[in-house]
Amino acid sequence: MRYIRVVKDRTARHLMLGIALFSLLLLLVIGITLLFKALPIMREKSLGTLLTSGNWKPFKGDFGFYPFIISTLYVSAIAIIIALPLSLLTSIYLNTYATKGIRKIFEPVIDLLSGIPPVIYGVWGSLAIVPLIAEKISPHFVEFSSGYSVLAGGLVLAIMILPLLVSILTEVFRSIPKEMTDASLAMGATKWQTVKKVILRKSLTGIIAAIVLSVSRAFGETIAVLMVCGNIPLIPKSVFDACYPLPALIANNYGEMMSMPGYESALMLGAFLLFFIILIFNAVSRLTLNQIENRYSL
pLDDT digits (tens, 9 = 90+) for 168-178: 888 888 888 88
Looking at the predicted structure, is the pLDDT value of residue 116 above 90?
no
Letter string b/e over residues 145-171, b meaning 16 or more CB atoms within 10 A of that residue's CB = bebbbbbbbbbbbbbbbbbbbbbbbbe
Q: Are 232 and 130 in contact (CB under 8 A)?
A: no
Q: Are 95 and 175 in contact (CB under 8 A)?
A: no
Residues 6+ apart with CB under 8 A from 160: 79, 118, 121, 217, 221, 224
Looking at the predicted structure, is the pLDDT value of residue 285 above 80?
no
What gap in Å lies between CA 11 and CA 176, rounded to an integer? 34
pLDDT tens digits for range 215-259: 777 777 777 888 899 888 888 988 999 999 888 888 888 766 666
pLDDT of res. 208: 81
DSSP code, position 139:
G
pLDDT tens digits for range 53-110: 888 888 777 888 899 989 988 998 899 899 989 999 998 898 888 888 888 888 888 8
If pLDDT is split at 50, 70 and 90, which confidence band does 282 have? confident
Task: Name the residue with higher pLDDT: 261 or 209.
Answer: 209
pLDDT tens digits for range 120-170: 888 999 999 999 999 999 898 888 888 899 999 999 999 988 888 888 888
pLDDT of res. 19: 85
CA atoms within 13 A on the CB side of 164: 21
Q: Report the first-to-last Cα separation within the chain, whole angstroms.
A: 42
- Average pLDDT of the chain is 84
Which runs of consecutive H residues, i.e. helices, occur in 147-203?
150-174, 178-186, 191-194, 200-202
CATH code linked to domain 49-297? 1.10.3720.10
Looking at the predicted structure, is the pLDDT value of residue 276 above 70?
yes
Average pLDDT estimate for 197-206: 82
Helix (H, G, I), strand (E, B) or coil at 62: strand
pLDDT tens digits for range 20-41: 888 889 888 988 998 898 888 8
